[in-house]
Structure 1
């Protein structure tokens, strides 16, 4: 019997066979690359899980050569201040653009756990008068629509006790300096020196890839930096801020966090701002506090170190897990309705210095990045104020 073939085989041309061959091997290569990527991700996750585990020291570990590296960073920071000055006005080397400095009240919880009654939180129910500066993170005042870090600095006033810095004995202040990411994109002073030098030279890629040697690459830290540069919030009063670096908290070590707490204030929905305007975050702040006369509320929290967990002091690129140590509320912050956007107050805001070392021993900053801050903040503050003719 003769079999009828309804669809006789078609002869594939030579170019067609070539494309089939290329397609087949392209698919195989793609699957291989995907498999290698997944394997690399798995091995990397396992390695980081092993590296970032186990107990850590509850004491500072100062590496050799840190003082010399700090002096290099100060010189680079001065160069950045010179590069970014506005005419004859010298700006901060970071967080140069303020949305405003506003008055606030920081009240310790009335029923605070005795274990949390440390330093400025020792007296339950105590209310501190404070200044709060809200800012962008960049060293140059750019449009608010540009992806950037956002900062909050809190200065408690009339704080009794001996100040940490001899030059601050008459000021009686306690500062908390924070920004809107839980961890930093550098681990220590050595990496910070490399990072800031690359940025000052206009070589941002070199900040995380200093050489062709893959062992020197800081891919994880680059990803942290990219996640830090976030879209602007509707208002700086709706953002959570972190100290990133640790401090003493009495005899313990801790990090701080400030979170919005709208339940403590009258209900308020901020009107949408024109995000094409260069200073729409200041406009949002002004709209709520000055035009609509609506206060803003936050909670101030601490996360105490558990040294049996991987909660290192000397590596600010590591986020302390809340599963290892939860944040605990110690105070509330209330920003009342006010008129803050005046030439006099804006000038005062520009000249106001915030430094984690402006404070008392109970909240002494610890770790390499904080030791660096002590030297750099003081040097840059003196440099700016001298050139701006501010006492």
Structure 2
């Protein structure tokens, strides 16, 4: 009797598990089919600004300032993101000598041109933490002595072009409305629950949570061994494009980084210092662009969508060299901490486009002004 009961329970459990598995597979298939149906072209090649975006931007500014206040140290106010730098280093950005005509746009219009630049490498978190923690990694490039009218009227004397990137091809929010909701929740201490704003399952952002978890990756061995993406689009002459920077060791002297102690809080700075300062070996990258094909699903206004390489391959426009140098000194680190990077620091040929970039224009400026004014009072 007992044996028959156990067999019956076993069969019931097996059928239940099989049913749940079948429902799960069916749900995944339906979801994948729906998402594929949603992700189809054509898309707009021009910006589409939703109603109420200006008011939402002001809300984000208030939240960003609150984050800066939350994460301040005793002697300084930090950035609201990418607070911890591994170092600011000098770099040379050389436009390809044989660059094709269609890629000769903006700062890449002169083949063979060498730009002097400052490059900041960082962690993504809004508060400095051990480099071993899962996190995004950032790269910001500032080309110097760039002629032409600057996008921001109050910076006409600066003559610069910034490219701001981090180590994942797409962002964990789609637009300004979602960013406002997500960053406000995170400022209140919510992490995972920031992606579940209400009881209605239609408001749940499961795909974006998965993107966020993928973005928080294990640390690389060195900041020079990571690929960085602009995530959001920019003008590239008359076209729209995204940027990518990839390691290019084949165009630098062969180098094997000695094993770093990843238990140390700043081992990524140590790795960068080891290569450039101690061993005096340069590091190399390629700078690439990916042009929008509006007939494919390559939207401007949704930064959660990765532009697929099979729809539009990346094309190399320049090579970046970080020469051997000493960068880790108190004076240079203070200078690095005070340096501002902004995708709106540049010329019209590389104008940032899309909602997240429009948001950046207001938030970066407001947070930078707030941070610098408070630090000046310290």
* TM bucket, shorter chain: over 0.9
* Distance (Å, rounded) in 1 between the aligned partners of 2:154 and 2:12: 70
Choose from 188, 207, 214 the match for 1:201: 188
1:275 maps to 2:262:
yes
Choose from 149, 160, 166 the match for 1:179: 166
Aligned residues: 377
* Distance (Å, rounded) in 2 between the aligned partners of 1:294 and 1:331: 20
* Distance (Å, rounded) in 1 between the aligned partners of 2:259 and 2:31: 42
Choose from 297, 310, 315 the match for 2:297: 310
The residue that corresponds to 2:37 in the other structure is: 50
The residue that corresponds to 1:140 in the other structure is: 127
The one-character-per-residue Cα deviations of 1:243-301 (angstroms, maximum 9, x if unpaired) are: 00000000000000000000000110111111111000000000000001000000000
Shift of 1:44: 1.1
Shift of 1:88: 3.0
Shift of 1:207: 1.3
1:241 maps to 2:228:
yes
Shift of 1:387: 0.6
TM-score by length of 2: 0.99
* Distance (Å, rounded) in 2 between the aligned partners of 1:173 and 1:57: 29
The residue that corresponds to 1:218 in the other structure is: 205
The residue that corresponds to 1:163 in the other structure is: 150
What aligned pairs does 1:104-119 form with structure 2 within 5 A after superposition?
104-119=91-106
* Distance (Å, rounded) in 2 between the aligned partners of 1:210 and 1:127: 48
Choose from 300, 312, 317 the match for 1:330: 317
**Is there any run of 5+ residues in structure 1 with no aligned partner, and where?**
1-12
The residue that corresponds to 1:5 in the other structure is: none
C-alpha RMSD of matched pairs (Å): 0.8
Shift of 1:33: 1.1
Choose from 248, 252, 256 the match for 1:261: 248
Shift of 1:351: 0.4
The one-character-per-residue Cα deviations of 1:124-165 (angstroms, maximum 9, x if unpaired) are: 000000000000000000001110000000000000000000
1:72 maps to 2:59:
yes
**Is there any run of 5+ residues in structure 2 with no aligned partner, and where?**
none
SS at match of 1:388: helix
Shift of 1:205: 2.6
* Distance (Å, rounded) in 2 between the aligned partners of 1:344 and 1:19: 75
TM-score by length of 1: 0.95
Shift of 1:386: 0.4
Shift of 1:55: 0.2
The one-character-per-residue Cα deviations of 1:302-343 (angstroms, maximum 9, x if unpaired) are: 000000111000000000011011000000000000000000
Shift of 1:193: 0.3
* Distance (Å, rounded) in 2 between the aligned partners of 1:272 and 1:20: 56
What aligned pairs does 1:29-40 form with structure 2 within 5 A after superposition?
29-40=16-27
SS at match of 1:389: helix
Shift of 1:65: 0.2
Moved over 3 A (4+): none
Are the aligned partners of 2:192 and 2:209 in contact in 1 as well (CA < 8 Å)? no
